Structure 1
């Protein structure tokens, strides 16, 4: 049983290794957000795509950085909507 667990854990180690090019140089892998800013692997941000806002995590799939939907809504989309100017005026009265 211990041998099997050790074998499985050692097989998973290469999955966490850095990506290297054929020349042996380490390739930096990262995602970009809708503004073109760099987002590191493992980081989660709120993405807005086609009118939909959702939390996504920068991940790797087949040696390609991808955005993986976490299934959670963005914190900003869960906040109550701001009152309109007319509603604010009535709140002040």
Structure 2
């Protein structure tokens, strides 16, 4: 009987630690941040935020069990379209008759 109670006393803390560890792993699993336009972003995602007339790059993160946006930099990366260029193989548009 004494040996059984010893195993229970020694094994119980291990079970408690395992339960706590598994709970902390899945804590941020279904958590999202909302952008100003209502779009949801998962924890870790990066998005361009526009508030008023200012834009900045931010990352969704967990802070004290609450999702929030962390500012990464001022401004957002912009992609530009290059002006249409004519192909070197066809310097002028071809007309088919």
Counterparts of 1:7-86 in structure 2, within 5 Å, are 17-19=25-27, 28-76=30-78
Listed as ranges, the gaps of 5+ residues in structure 2 are 1-20, 81-97
Q: Select the structure of larger CA radius of gyration.
A: 2
TM-superposed CA distance for 1:27, in Å, is 6.5
Separation (CA, whole Å) in 1 of partners of 2:47 and 2:29: 23
Separation (CA, whole Å) in 2 of partners of 1:38 and 1:65: 11
The 1:72/1:17 distance shift into structure 2, 3 A limit, reads: farther
Q: TM-score, normalised by structure 1?
A: 0.53
- Quote the RMSD (CA, aligned, Å): 2.7
Quick check: which one's helix share is greater? Answer: 1
Runs of 4+ in 1 over 2 A off after TM superposition: none
Listed as ranges, the gaps of 5+ residues in structure 1 are 1-12, 20-25, 81-93
Contact 2:54–2:75 (CA under 8 A) maintained in structure 1: no
